[in-house]
Chains A and B, each alone.
Chain A
Amino acid sequence: MGTYEFFEHTADVGIRAHGATLEALFVCMVQGLIELIAEDSVLKPQQARSLQLSADEAESLLLTWMQEVLFWFSTERFLPVTFELDEVTQTSLRGTVRGDIFDPARHVQGREVKAITRHLLQVRQERDGWHGQVIVDI
C-alpha cells in the first residue's frame, strides 16, 4: 500500500506519492491523477482494460503509465478503480485494471488534466520503499 499528496505549483498541480513497492507507487500516482479529474466521484470497477507497457527506466515508465490512463479518460472517459498488476519492474508493467465510465452528469467534475509533464519527474528507491513525483498540466 502507499499514499499520495498534492504539492504546490503555480500553474499546475504536483502529485507526490510513496509506496512500499514500485507497484504501490504506480497505483498511488494514478489514484492521485483520478482524484484530480473526478474528485470523490463514486466509481465502480465495471469494465476491464489490459495493458502491457515498457520504457527505458522507472521515470519514463511512470510517465507512460500515467499517459495511458489519461488517454483512456480522454478518449473513452474510462477511469480505473482497481488494479491487478501482474508485473511491475523499472522497465515494464503488465496487468489488468477495472474501472468506470465517467459521466459528467452523474460524477463530480474535477480538473481537466491536459498532460503529464516531464518537469521534475522523479522515481527513487529509499529505505522505506519507493518515492515519486510528477507535475500534471492543468
Chain B
Amino acid sequence: MKERAWTGPLEKIDDYRWRIPQSYDRGMRVPGLVFADEQLLADIKADQSLQQVANMAYLPGIVKASMAMPDIHWGYGAPIGGVAAIDAQEGVISPGAIGFDINCGVRLMTTNLTAEEVQPKLRTLIAALFSDIPCGVGMSGAIRLSRKDAPRAMTQGSRWVIGQGHGVTADLEHTESQGCLEGADPAAVSERALERGHDQLGTLGSGNHFVEVQAVDQVFDEDGAEVLGVQAGQVTVMIHSGSRGFGYQVCDDYLDVAERAMAKYGITVPDRQLACAPIDSEEGRGYLGAMRCAANYAWANRQCLMHLARLTFERVFEKSWETLGMRLVYDVAHNIAKFERHRIPATEHGGSASGGNGEERMMCVHRKGATRSFPPGHPEVPADYQSIGQPVIIPGDMGRNSYVLVGTAKAMEESFGSCCHGAGRVMSRTESVRRAAGRSIEHELEQQGIIVMGRGRKGIAEEQPSAYKDVNDVVRVVHNAGLAKRVVRMRPLGVIKG
C-alpha cells in the first residue's frame, strides 16, 4: 500500500506551510493546510496521509482548512496529526476524525530527583514500574468498575478516581479540562463498551503507550521552565495512554450510527471511516454524550497510572511521593473533539462559507493526533500558567527526546489553537519488525544508557526509534511556525511498554 504515494498538488505558502488546493477534489469544502518543512515533507508524501487530509476536507461545516501537523502520518479516516475545525451549528461530528482511542493523551510529572540520583537505582525502578503498572495484551487493572461506579467514572473523570484515593485534587488543576468534560451521558454508552471497560482502569495498554522516566537535558526558556517547575538535570515521568477498550468500543458503536446517519441526512465522504452525523442531531448528540464519557474514562485512567507510578517511586526511593516532589506538570488530550470559541479570519476567498470575517464562532475542533496549544491569558489555561500559556507535551520515540512547549496566540490564529502530538511514525510496523530481525533493540538502547522493558515479543521492535520521525525536526517546525514555543527538552532514561 505504501507505493500509493502522493501525486496530487501541494503549493508552498512559506517554509513551514503547504496548501492542497481545494480544486484538487470537487468534494473538498476547504483547502488542505500542512505544517511541515521540505525535509519532513519527503516522508509525508510517501504514504496516503495527504490524501486523508483531502478526504477530511469533505466534512460538512469544516472551516478555513483541513489541517495537518508536521507529525502527520497515514491513519484511518482522518490522518494522524489531523485537525478539523467544524462549525458547531451547521457542521458534523465524525468519530473517525477523533479516533478509536478517545482522549488518548500524555501527562508529565516532575520529581525533585536528579538523573545522577536515579541512575544507581534505574534498573530497579524500571523493573518495579514494569511489575506494578499493568501493561500489555490481555491485562486487567486492580480497579474494577462496578455497575454503580461506572456512571460516576464516566461523568466525573479524574475527580472520581481521586475521590477513590488515586491522587490529590491539585492534580485536577493541571489536567486539561480539569480531567472532566461536561455533558457526558452514560445512557449513550453501550453495554459492550461497559463490558470492555470494566477492568481496564489503571492499565497502560500496548502499541505506542508507555511510561517513561526522563531527565531534562535542555532548557530553551528559563522563565517558562521556572513557572513549570522544571530545570536541567531534573528527572520527570511521562505517561501516554487513553480510554482503553471502553473508548474503542464507543467509537465503533458510533461509527455504525454515523454511517446510518449519513444516508439519512444525505452526507457523503470518501472513506467509510470518516462517517459523520450533524452535531445538532440525535445521532450527533448521542456520540458527543458517549465520547465525553470515554474522554473522562481516559483522564481517570491516566490519573490512576500516574498514581501507580508515584507509589512505585515511594517504594524504590523510600520516601513519600510528596517528598519526592512528584507534581503533575500537565495532562493533554490528543484524540478528542472540543467545543471552543475561535475567531474566524477572512480567507483569501473573501469570507465564503468556509471562512469568516473575523467574527468569533463556536467550533467543534476535531484533533486526531494533535494537541491544544492555548496562549497565555486564555481562560482554559491553569491559573499558575496564565503568564506562559498551556503546556504542550510532545513525546518522541524511546531513544531520542521529548519536549514541553507552551501554546501561543499565533496557534489560535493559524491552527485553531492546535499543535503536533508527537514525533509521528515514518516506518510501518511490519517494516520495523523486519529491520529489527537479528538485532536486540533493548540491547542497542541499553548501550545508550536507556533501559526498556516490554511485554510483547514484537512490541519493542515495532516501536524502535527509527520507526519514528526525529521529534527534534517536528518540534523545530511547530516552534518556527509559531504554533507553540519550546520550553524544555527531555531525554529518556528508562521506558516501560505494553
Is A8 an interface residue when CB atoms closer than 8 A count as contact? yes
Judge whether B428 and A10 touch: CB under 8 Å: yes
B255 contacts across to A, CB distance below 8 A: 118
CB contact list, B345-374 vs A, under 8 A: none
B429 contacts across to A, CB distance below 8 A: 8-9, 12-13, 111, 138
Beyond known contacts A9-B1, A71-B192, A119-B273: 13 more, CB 8 A cutoff: A10-B47, A10-B426, A11-B425, A67-B252, A71-B249, A104-B136, A110-B458, A111-B456, A112-B206, A119-B75, A137-B76, A137-B100, A138-B207
In the assembled complex, 23 residue pairs joining A and B whose CB atoms fall closer than 8 Å, in A order, are A7-B1, A7-B430, A8-B1, A8-B429, A10-B425, A10-B427, A10-B428, A13-B430, A14-B1, A71-B192, A71-B195, A74-B249, A75-B195, A109-B136, A109-B137, A109-B455, A111-B429, A111-B456, A114-B207, A115-B251, A117-B273, A120-B1, A121-B272
- CB contact between A112 and one of B1, B195, B205 (< 8 Å): that residue: B205
Query: Which residue of chain B is the closest to A112 with respect to CB atoms?
Result: B206
Is A49 an interface residue when CB atoms closer than 8 A count as contact? no
**Considering the chains assembled together, what is the distance between the CA atoms of A5 and B96 in angstroms?**
25
- CB contact between B245 and one of A14, A74, A135, A138 (< 8 Å): that residue: A74
Cβ-Cβ contact count across A and B, 8 Å cutoff: 127
B457 contacts across to A, CB distance below 8 A: 39, 108-110
**Considering the chains assembled together, what is the distance between the CA atoms of A10 and B432 in angstroms?**
10
Judge whether B192 and A10 touch: CB under 8 Å: no
Judge whether A119 and B196 touch: CB under 8 Å: no
A98-134 CB mask vs B (1 if < 8 Å, else 0) is: 0000111000111110111111110000000000000
The 8 A-B pairs of least Cβ separation, nearest first, read A112-B206, A119-B76, A118-B272, A8-B428, A117-B76, A119-B273, A10-B74, A115-B100
Judge whether A8 and B455 touch: CB under 8 Å: no
Q: Given A10-B428, A39-B457, A112-B205: A75 and B196 within 8 A (CB)?
A: yes
Judge whether A11 and B136 touch: CB under 8 Å: no
A108 contacts across to B, CB distance below 8 A: 457
**Considering the chains assembled together, what is the distance between the CA atoms of A121 and B272 in angstroms?**
8
Is B118 an interface residue when CB atoms closer than 8 A count as contact? no
Minimum distance in angstroms from B385 CB to a CB of chain A = 31
A44 contacts across to B, CB distance below 8 A: none
Classify chain B's interface size: 35 or more
Query: Which residue of chain A is the closest to B426 with respect to CB atoms?
Result: A10
Minimum distance in angstroms from B363 CB to a CB of chain A = 25
Judge whether B76 and A104 touch: CB under 8 Å: no
Query: Which residue of chain A is the closest to B55 with respect to CB atoms?
Result: A119
Q: Given A8-B430, A138-B207: A71 and B196 within 8 A (CB)?
A: yes
Judge whether B2 and A135 touch: CB under 8 Å: no
**Considering the chains assembled together, what is the distance between the CA atoms of A9 and B48 in angstroms?**
9
Judge whether A111 and B458 touch: CB under 8 Å: yes
Is B73 an interface residue when CB atoms closer than 8 A count as contact? yes
A39 contacts across to B, CB distance below 8 A: 457-458
A115 contacts across to B, CB distance below 8 A: 100, 248, 251-252
B426 contacts across to A, CB distance below 8 A: 10
Most chain B CB neighbours (cut-off 10 Å) among A74, A108, A121: A74
Is A37 an interface residue when CB atoms closer than 8 A count as contact? yes
